[in-house]
Amino acid sequence: MCAEIDYSAQSECIRRLHQIFGNGGNAHLDLACGTGPHVRHFIDNGYQSQGLDINQPMLDIAKLHCPEAEFSRQDMANFTVEQPQDLITCFLYSIHYNDGIAKLKQCIANVHSALADGGVFCFNAVEKQMIINDSFAKFQLEHEDSQFTFSSGWDYCGEGDKQSLIVNIEKTNQDQSLSWQDEHPMVAVSFEHLQQLLAPYFNVTMFEHDYEKILPWDGKSGNAIFSCVKI
């Protein structure tokens, strides 16, 4: 499912933002780290990197990818760290996995507490009012004599603080065709509201959702990268 994700480009973009806005430290924590691909890139760039996730099987794989890193099974809305962090990241829209605005506020407060002075929190987010339902990103690949088709898209009813990520998987070979659909409940938030939630804790700069270039957010696009410096 993750074959088309450019983890290297995403990690390098955030590393550059950290160079611009950060405090010069190299202690890094990745929230919702999954199997650790971003952690691997940060370690390779000289960071003392660690990760947390609520899924233990993913953390087991992450430890194989990054044996020198520490991983812990924790909820991003309620986590602790032993030492202050200089950079905290949350990739792949995972900030939306906080279940509701109250959990999102708790996550933001936790991140602030976990950061060292001048530390940076970087994540990407989607503006709920600009979600186009039934608009899916899709790609295909061949694996072990089967053709896989993956698609994913947002679904938002138009009001409230709940949205969903819809994931579809199809597997076809000469013997059979199989399909799966999953729905991930997530928090829906406008960029204006998100900025209000961040403002008591961070100086916030928003950028276009482009990991190849560092461009200020144009105020119109529905996806953005947030760079938040602890105050």
Q: Which pLDDT score is estimated for 130? A: 97
For residue 4, the model assigns a pLDDT of 78
Q: What is the mean pLDDT of residues 138-164?
A: 93
pLDDT for the residue numbered 228: 98
Read off the pLDDT band of 144 (50, 70, 90): confident
Judged against a pLDDT cut of 80, whether residue 67 lies above it is answered with: yes
The pLDDT score that the predictor gives to residue 139 is 83
Q: pLDDT tens across 170-207, in order?
A: 999 988 999 999 999 999 999 999 999 999 999 999 99
On the question of pLDDT at 225 being above 90, the answer is yes
Q: What is the pLDDT of residue 123?
A: 98
Q: What is the mean pLDDT of residues 14-34?
A: 98
**Per-residue model confidence (pLDDT) at position 1:** 67
pLDDT score of 211 more than 90: yes
* pLDDT value, residue 39: 98
Residue in 117, 124, 127, 129 with CA at minimum distance from that of residue 203: 117
Average pLDDT, the chain: 96
According to the 3-state scheme, what is the secondary structure of the chain?
CCCCCCHHHHHHHHHHHHHHHCCCCCEEEEECCCCCHHHHHHHHCCCEEEEEECCHHHHHHHHHHCCCCEEEECECCECCCCCCEEEEEECCCHHHHCCCHHHHHHHHHHHHHHEEEEEEEEEEEECHHHCCCCCCEEEEEEECCEEEEEEEEEEECCCCCEEEEEEEEEEECCCCEEEEEEEEEEECCCHHHHHHHHCCCEEEEEEECCCCCCCECCCCCCEEEEEEEEC
pLDDT in tens, 117-143: 999 999 999 999 999 998 898 889 898
